[in-house]
Amino acid sequence: MSYTAAVDHLYALGQELAPSTPSTPRRKFDLAHMRVLAAALGDPQTAFPSVLIAGTNGKGSTAATLSSILTAAGYRTGLYTSPHLVRVNERIQIDGQQIPDEDFARLYFQVDETARHLVESGDLPYPPSFFEVLTAVGFLYFAGESETQSEKTPVDIVILEVGLGGRLDATNIVEPLLSILTDIALDHQDYLGNTIAEITREKAGILRPNGTLITLPQHPEANQAIGEAAATLNLRAINAAGYIPTNVPGHTAGVPQHPADTAGQEARSLPANRYIVTLDGETLEVNSPLPGHHQQRNIALAIAAAAELRNSKGYKLAKITPESNQIGYNITNAQIEAGIRNTQWPGRLELFTFPEGPQLLLDVAHNPAGAWTLRAAIAQLPDTRPRTLLFSCLRDKDLKEMGQILFPLFDASSTDPERRRDHIVFAPIDNPRAAHIEDLLAAAHALDIPAHAAPHLAAAFAQARAVTPPEGLIIATGSVYLVGEIRRLAGEL
């Protein structure tokens, strides 16, 4: 069957986090169901080594950076991320190339048919979810099930981004070489818990007895929960803080700026992440295309993971072919530098410049922690520049707190004369979890901040471009779904 049919069939499954209704109650996550599906498919997740990454924010950036490093080192590297911005194929990649449409369609219907037989036989109580199906498709593709290959050859390693939580996430049926925990904050409380400690314990479900954890010091509650899990599992914990630079006034992350850096910053509006760290006694120059001070933490995690993967002890897992990774991965400092430099991860402080009109900055800040990160980036922009916020979010996010963080930066009624040419435009997004326009407007009005709404996303983008002066900046944020659609519209200009 066709790729279009596969995608339509996939979306008909519905999203795991869609609001519960009497006819479609909220799905209960159970790893046993994912294991049953994987077993019926031949347990493809045992065909390759993997790294598993969980966290609230930064896990996608960390995964993309680490994947790029391994590709630069010459390894066929799988990357599994979620959600996607424009096309579902973005979630499943090898060496930066998305899964081809024909492979996606063939593997999707293979998984779907297998699942149907399992439900009919009573081995599964109900069909697998959207994310479970996609995860199974990814596992098959990484195991070598591709029409473009003459023989079935698994990739050398796969970097897996956890979709939600960790303990019960569909990706968590692998036996990872490393487990990475990025920054943890409040999000998805309905599923993961109401405190950072509870959420951390769910995400720490990706850790393994006697395994290896890579993380960074963060919120005290998260630190304590991670420490307790580490002690219980007798695992080895690696602190990546040594790969975060010390900032020096007048420099970019501790490195004197060059004229080329300054020119690039003017064009990009945000300082580049260019600095030097030390790895195994040697200098390593970081020059990342991902702007924002927060990315230094994600880059540090990727560097620490690359350094651990190249350890001299190597890796030999019972469930993976005996000859795999017995001497570790051969990754040089130069290859780490190249991988960081070549990282591609769109929608994260991504700047679009057009021949005419204002620039466009896209960022998928979709929770309060992400909003604070975006606010810190906005603080690095010239105050004199007029700007427009193009915003929407999902209704299960903390709209009130996100509004309190971001909306005052675009308050045209402020006493600050620099803000009088600013605007806020709200846009509806096509998602069953989307916040209602009335709620978005109410959040702005509660802060006495003027805001406008558009009937649909394309109209909102057009309105934002119309009200923003040519020298101004449009900042689109609040939801991955909004950023993905705006990115598609921007590509058509």
Q: What is the rounded CA–CA span in Å between residue 366 and residue 480?
A: 7
Model pLDDT for residues 316-351, shown as the tens digit of each residue:
443 444 444 455 799 999 999 999 999 999 999 999
Helix (H, G, I), strand (E, B) or coil at 24: coil
Whole-number pLDDT of residue 22:
52
Q: How far is CA 417 from CA 376, 384, 387, 414, 453, in A?
A: 21, 9, 13, 7, 24
Same domain? For 315 and 380 the reply is no
What token pair was written down for 492?
């058509």
Closest CA to 392 of 438, 330, 355, 359: 438
Q: The domain that contains 463 carries what CATH number?
A: 3.90.190.20
Q: The domain that contains 334 carries what CATH number?
A: 3.40.1190.10
Same domain? For 370 and 314 the reply is no
Instruction: Name the pTM for this structure.
Output: 0.90
Same domain? For 20 and 104 the reply is yes
Same domain? For 95 and 219 the reply is yes
Q: How far is CA 280 from CA 31, 156, 392, in A?
A: 39, 24, 45
What token pair was written down for 184?
């943890």
In the chain, what percentage of residues exceed pLDDT 90? 74
Same domain? For 154 and 258 the reply is yes
Same domain? For 246 and 373 the reply is no
Overall average pLDDT of the 455-472 stretch: 96
User: Strand 348-352 vs strand 359-363: parallel, antiparallel, or unpaired?
Assistant: antiparallel
Final residue of a structural domain among 313, 341, 369: 341
Q: What is the rounded CA–CA span in Å between residue 174 and residue 239?
A: 23
What token pair was written down for 319?
């469930």
Whole-number pLDDT of residue 476:
97
List, in order, residues 6 or more apart from 326 with CB less than 8 Å away. 314, 315, 316
Helix (H, G, I), strand (E, B) or coil at 329: coil
Same domain? For 78 and 38 the reply is yes
Whole-number pLDDT of residue 246:
82
Q: How far is CA 400 from CA 122, 253, 286, 441, 449, in A?
A: 45, 33, 37, 11, 13
Whole-number pLDDT of residue 205:
92
Q: What is the rounded CA–CA span in Å between residue 101 and residue 98?
A: 9
Model pLDDT for residues 264-279, shown as the tens digit of each residue:
344 346 888 999 999 9
Closest CA to 85 of 353, 346, 401: 346
366 lies in which domain range? 348-491
Q: What is the rounded CA–CA span in Å between residue 233 and residue 230?
A: 5
Closest CA to 393 of 353, 347, 356, 439: 439
Helix (H, G, I), strand (E, B) or coil at 315: coil
How many domains does one find in the chain? 2
Same domain? For 362 and 270 the reply is no
Same domain? For 302 and 354 the reply is no
Closest CA to 490 of 85, 147, 103, 38: 85
Same domain? For 149 and 110 the reply is yes
Same domain? For 177 and 113 the reply is yes
User: Phi and psi of 377, rounded to 5°?
Assistant: -70, -40
Whole-number pLDDT of residue 470:
95
**Which range (244-253, 386-395, 460-469) has the least confidence?**
244-253
What token pair was written down for 407?
């909306």
**Which range (191-195, 240-244, 294-298, 415-419) has the least confidence?**
191-195
CB 109 within 8 A of CB 101: no
List, in order, residues 6 or more apart from 48 with CB less than 8 Å away. 78, 142, 143, 154, 155, 156, 157, 158, 320
Final residue of a structural domain among 325, 341, 357: 341
- With tokens 């402020």, the residue in question is 414
Whole-number pLDDT of residue 28:
65
* 260 has pLDDT over 60: no
What token pair was written down for 124?
């599964």
Peptide bond into 83 cis (omega under 30): yes
User: Strand 92-94 vs strand 178-181: parallel, antiparallel, or unpaired?
Assistant: unpaired
Q: What is the rounded CA–CA span in Å between residue 236 and residue 217?
A: 15
pLDDT band at 255 (very low <50, low <70, confident <90, very high): very low
What token pair was written down for 241?
């803080």
Model pLDDT for residues 21-36, shown as the tens digit of each residue:
555 555 667 899 999 9
pLDDT band at 430 (very low <50, low <70, confident <90, very high): confident
Final residue of a structural domain among 319, 341, 363: 341
Pick the residue with more confidence: 186 or 336?
336
* 136 has pLDDT over 90: yes
Same domain? For 360 and 457 the reply is yes
